[in-house]
Amino acid sequence: MFNGWILNEDRSVTMIFGFANQNRTATVDIPLGPDNKLEPAQFQGAQPTHFPVYNRGGFVGIQERGIFAVVVPADMAGTEVVWTLNSGGKTWSVPGRATSPAYEMSAAEMASGSLKPAIRFSMDGPESVDPVGIYAEPKVVKVGEELTLSAYMQDRGVRDQYLGNERLYFPLGTYWVMHQGPAEPTIATPEITGRKRAETDTSDPNTAPWSEVSTQITFPEPGDYVIRLRVDNFQAPDSQFDNVCCWSNAYYPVTVTP
């Protein structure tokens, strides 16, 4: 699914993609290659190979939105980015196009000042503030050996500009999931909502603290994996998954040896 596009300040275009697994119980895995490709080829590899089953109800339903995004440089203006999947004897293909205003989105603050959260792997390292995300340094672990992945996250909202806001910052939610890999790992804490995190949140509502989050992962088979971390701000009144706001991605490459 093509979720929408954002025109960046340098005239490049961010194209955001998701998917909907039409199975109700069966997770689908489609390795990178002719059955799972992005064109032009320079964007190949950003997409997932692992397609879990979702049933979120409401407007989103079985969709997983904003699982990855690519940036089309300004000098490639007008280029379509096409994602093609072959599975079960059928072919699905969707073009990413920066042409329809109905699909145009904004990276600016939402109605009450929410912005996409920030993610860093270290406090002095690169920062993700969108679905394009950042990639961690690759890690190596053995089959069956527990691996801890961690990151720092921050609510970037600018809600002091808007009247009626009781809080300036909200507890963030996290979601860890396999993005690519040969076999589904065991993730100790795959998802924590901001609402659950609020039970122990004692931060000053007028500051935006960085907080560390982590989970433990065990891999069942050797191979190359990518784990995605999504950090969301869905507890804010102007943020929700339905509106493709407000979350950011980060990715962890992992090589698993026998």
Would 111 be classed as within a structural domain? no
Whether the pLDDT of residue 207 is over 80: the answer is no
Both 133 and 218 in one domain: the answer is yes
Closest CA to 236 of 185, 189, 171: 171
Both 54 and 82 in one domain: the answer is yes
CATH number at residue 222: 2.60.40.10
8 A C-beta contact, residue 242 and residue 59: yes
Q: Which of 103, 135, 169 is the last residue of a domain?
A: 103
Q: How many domains does the chain have?
A: 2
pLDDT at 29: 97
Q: What pTM does this model have?
A: 0.95
pLDDT at 234: 93
Q: Residue range 110-130: average pLDDT?
A: 95
Which tens digit of pLDDT belongs to each residue from 157-197?
988 888 777 778 889 999 999 999 999 999 999 999 998 88
Both 40 and 143 in one domain: the answer is no
Q: Residue range 149-153: average pLDDT?
A: 97
Both 167 and 75 in one domain: the answer is no
Q: How confident is the model at residue 71 (pLDDT cuts 50, 70, 90)?
A: very high
Written as six digits, the tokens of 162 are 């808007």
Q: Which residues pair with 115 in a beta bridge?
A: none
Closest CA to 100 of 38, 12, 15: 15
Q: Residue range 27-36: average pLDDT?
A: 97
Both 62 and 164 in one domain: the answer is no
Q: Which of 73, 103, 133 is the last residue of a domain?
A: 103
Distances (CA, A) of 204 to 83, 129, 163, 207, 258: 43, 22, 19, 6, 46
* Residue-by-residue DSSP string for 125-170: S-EE-STT-EEPPPEEEETT--EEEEEEEE----GGGSTT-S-S--
Both 136 and 243 in one domain: the answer is yes
Both 82 and 50 in one domain: the answer is yes
Q: How confident is the model at residue 90 (pLDDT cuts 50, 70, 90)?
A: very high
Would 113 be classed as within a structural domain? no
Whether the pLDDT of residue 200 is over 60: the answer is no
Domain hosting 63: range is: 2-103
Measured distance CA(138)–CA(147) in Å, rounded: 12
